[in-house]
Structure 1
Amino acid sequence: MDRPFSERVAGEDWRGEVEAWAVAELARTGREVTGPTEQLRIRPWSTQLTIPTQHGTVWFKANCPTLAFEPRLQALLAELLPHAVDAPLAVEPDRGWMLTVDRGETLGDHREPTLDDWQRVVTEAAQMQQVLAGHRDELLGAGVPDCSPATVVDRFDRLVDTLAGLPGEHPSHVSPELEARLRATRPAIADAARQLDESALPTTWQHGDLHPRNVFAVEGGELHLFDFGDAQWSHAVEVLSVPFGWVTTYTDLAWRDVLEPYCAVWGTTPEAVEADWRATALTQPVNRTLLWWVALEQATAAEWAEWGEGPIHHLTRVLDA
């Protein structure tokens, strides 16, 4: 376990363990492996392989230790929300391993997402959040990080301390000048956390990376979400941060047209959630920074050079809020 995650999962010994486990687990579901596995990608936080069977392709995913909760979480979500999440074929939660069926193209890969697509995605997320708001203990027990409003200020302090303490040449290093600017936002972050703590909308599950390429449109018109390694337990409106970035950066759609159906699920309006939305512009960057930091925990030097600006990029978003 001392080797970086990406080096470990690139080894033949690791692949051999995975293939032996997958063959045995797939046999329990009546599937026989019919060809060689293919490792499609390796990242500091996860790797994916495809496995051909007589009943179609099966996907294998392994997460780094800090994100190893995903298989357990997906199994729980599938139990609580079977209409919205596929149950894994098999999980090995202690090692962060999971097998799932191939659903084909994602909604975002199938076509350029339309306004209707985005509205359906955020509506589905809101409906899931409503159900999951009552399952806090189960989700935290599955390993979902607790990023609720009351925890944000302490997290911000720890992240600033950690990044400011890195060597100057580290890609996530916070300089003394930037540290001072970040610490000056602390009162505003505390106010934002207080606003969300007193919000009419709840703290609940949020996907963490919600966009049409993390959604399948399955037979019958249902949407099934996947890729839950970025999930957190935080204020409901934080789930909109990634959709907002996608819609306003990559499309000509009006954000309000996407926001309204999300609000409608909660029986509210964009005007009524405006204060919460402004507050999440300060809390979500802090929580997103945590995800990047732990995802790179076992990164190589080369991976830190490639991805290491992620924590600083997200943390400094509080300066724009």
Structure 2
Amino acid sequence: MASLRTVTTASTTDRSSPQWHDAALTWVGDALARHGRRITGPVQERVRPWSLVWQVPTDAGDAWFKANNSGTRYETGLLATLSRLTPDAVLHPLAVDPELGWTLLPEGGPSLRDVLAGGDDRVARWERVLPAYAELQRTVAPRAGVLLDDGVPDHRPERLPGLLDELLDDRESLRLGQPDGMDAELHERLRAYRAEFGVLCRRLGGTGIPATVQHDDLHDGNVFAGADGYRFFDWGDASVAHPFGTLLVTLRSVAHAAGLADDDPALPRLRDAYLEAWTDRYDRATLREAAHLATRVTTVSRALSWRRALATDDPARAEYAEAVPGWLGELFAPVPI
């Protein structure tokens, strides 16, 4: 095991080495054997700066191996915890190693994207998906401290102003003065905005809605839509945060895919379908105000998740480098809900 740890805790670029490949394949094979399965062919590989994913053919259907980089390694432990707390809403891993950031998952069935490609009504389908996701968040909220102890990033409203300050001081991540980076004018505008941003975060935290797991990249490619319900996956951007920040990416992705304008009534309809889960404790006006605030401040969360994802020396990170300054610039974009 010592040699395995030596190989597998090295940098992301070492994942291309035969030694790393052999160690990972041995781990996958051993994990499958414990479930009475065996590998039946070569793996299909997809590599991104933040993770490596293998599609592994077995005698009982495909399995999926994921190796996270150091910035997103917490996803492994988070998924194991979610599978205990919300067993019907995520896949149950076949094996996990939180120290290495390795996960082996079974096949999850068709994605929501696959289903929608078949002609389903996109908005109507999301009206069913969002309440299921909201229930996951509500179930996890009382255990949010456990997630923090396990290393899930802390993006609660009271933490975001300090995190924004850190980002604005991180010249490398912002790529200040570079063609794909933040220009000096926007940088100064964001610095001047810090006090107002702090006010927004305090207002959001003051609603009393508890922090919980926030996927932060919930779109139709990250939801399985099987006959037995919806399961949510790919938690590499997740944090402990105000739950309603989810709506930032989700509503944008729905609007983009469906060709909806910012003022389309379908968007507040989806927002309200999601918020319904909290109406037993909060009035609708409070919930809508919180959703408006959360979708504004969560642009900082998105910038932070991209900074973690790109915390690697993989040369391919340059392809995505504009994401950190780009999401910070979105702080000034109109909020349609």
What TM-score does the superposition give when structure 1 sets the normalisation length?
Answer: 0.92
Structure 1 unaligned segments of length 5 or more: list them.
none
Q: CA deviation at 1:195?
A: 0.8
Q: Tell me whether 108-117 or 62-71 shows the greater mean CA deviation.
A: 108-117
CA–CA distance in structure 2, aligned partners of residues 304 and 82 of structure 1:
34
Decide whether the 8 Å contact of 1:285 with 1:315 is kept in 2: yes
Tell me the residue number matched to 2:115: 110
Q: What is the DSSP-based 3-state SS (H/G/I as helix, E as strand, rest coil) of the residue aligned with 2:56? A: strand
Match of residue 130, structure 1, among 115, 129, 138: 138
Equivalent residue letter for 1:209: D
Decide whether the 8 Å contact of 2:144 with 2:212 is kept in 1: yes
Matched, 1:190 2:198: yes
Tell me the residue number matched to 2:267: 255
1:175-204 CA-partner distances (Å, limit 9, x unpaired) = 332221111211221111101111142211
Match of residue 278, structure 2, among 256, 259, 266: 266
- Compared with structure 1, are the counterparts of its residues 77 and 178 closer, same or farther at alpha carbon in structure 2 (3 Å cutoff)? same
Matched, 1:306 2:334: no
Q: What is the DSSP-based 3-state SS (H/G/I as helix, E as strand, rest coil) of the residue aligned with 1:272? A: helix
Q: CA deviation at 1:259?
A: 1.3
Match of residue 244, structure 1, among 240, 251, 254: 251
- Compared with structure 1, are the counterparts of its residues 76 and 298 closer, same or farther at alpha carbon in structure 2 (3 Å cutoff)? same
Equivalent residue letter for 2:110: E
Equivalent residue letter for 1:126: A
Matched, 1:49 2:51: no
Equivalent residue letter for 1:31: R
1:157-186 CA-partner distances (Å, limit 9, x unpaired) = 110011378765656643332221111211
Tell me the residue number matched to 2:168: 160
Equivalent residue letter for 1:9: R
Q: CA deviation at 1:16?
A: 0.7
Tell me the residue number matched to 2:4: none
Q: Number of residues paired by the alignment?
A: 317
CA–CA distance in structure 2, aligned partners of residues 223 and 116 of structure 1:
14
CA–CA distance in structure 2, aligned partners of residues 80 and 285 of structure 1:
28
Q: How does 1:41-80 map to 2 (within 5 A)?
A: 41-80=46-85
Matched, 1:34 2:47: no
Q: CA deviation at 1:25?
A: 1.1
Matched, 1:23 2:47: no
Q: CA deviation at 1:320?
A: 2.3
Equivalent residue letter for 1:109: D
Match of residue 237, structure 2, among 230, 235, 240: 230
Q: What is the DSSP-based 3-state SS (H/G/I as helix, E as strand, rest coil) of the residue aligned with 1:56? A: coil
Decide whether the 8 Å contact of 2:50 with 2:310 is kept in 1: yes
CA–CA distance in structure 2, aligned partners of residues 88 and 46 of structure 1:
17
CA–CA distance in structure 2, aligned partners of residues 2 and 86 of structure 1:
25
What TM-score does the superposition give when structure 2 sets the normalisation length?
Answer: 0.88
Q: CA deviation at 1:219?
A: 3.2
Q: What is the DSSP-based 3-state SS (H/G/I as helix, E as strand, rest coil) of the residue aligned with 2:158? A: helix
Decide whether the 8 Å contact of 2:123 with 2:254 is kept in 1: no
Aligned-residue RMSD, C-alpha:
2.1
Q: CA deviation at 1:2?
A: 9.8
1:87-110 CA-partner distances (Å, limit 9, x unpaired) = 100011111111000123211123
Tell me the residue number matched to 1:282: 296
Structure 2 unaligned segments of length 5 or more: list them.
1-7
Decide whether the 8 Å contact of 2:173 with 2:324 is kept in 1: no
Q: What is the DSSP-based 3-state SS (H/G/I as helix, E as strand, rest coil) of the residue aligned with 2:286? A: coil
Q: Tell me whether 267-276 or 226-235 shows the greater mean CA deviation.
A: 267-276
CA–CA distance in structure 2, aligned partners of residues 50 and 32 of structure 1:
13
CA–CA distance in structure 2, aligned partners of residues 125 and 188 of structure 1:
31
Q: What is the DSSP-based 3-state SS (H/G/I as helix, E as strand, rest coil) of the residue aligned with 1:95? A: coil
Q: CA deviation at 1:145?
A: 0.5
Q: What is the DSSP-based 3-state SS (H/G/I as helix, E as strand, rest coil) of the residue aligned with 2:142? A: coil
Q: What is the DSSP-based 3-state SS (H/G/I as helix, E as strand, rest coil) of the residue aligned with 2:87? A: coil
Match of residue 293, structure 1, among 307, 332, 335: 307
- Compared with structure 1, are the counterparts of its residues 171 and 144 closer, same or farther at alpha carbon in structure 2 (3 Å cutoff)? farther
Q: In percent, how many aligned pairs have the same letter?
A: 32
Decide whether the 8 Å contact of 1:50 with 1:57 is kept in 2: yes
Tell me the residue number matched to 1:14: 20
Decide whether the 8 Å contact of 2:9 with 2:100 is kept in 1: no
Q: Tell me whether 227-236 or 259-268 shows the greater mean CA deviation.
A: 259-268
Q: Tell me whether 170-179 or 67-76 shows the greater mean CA deviation.
A: 170-179
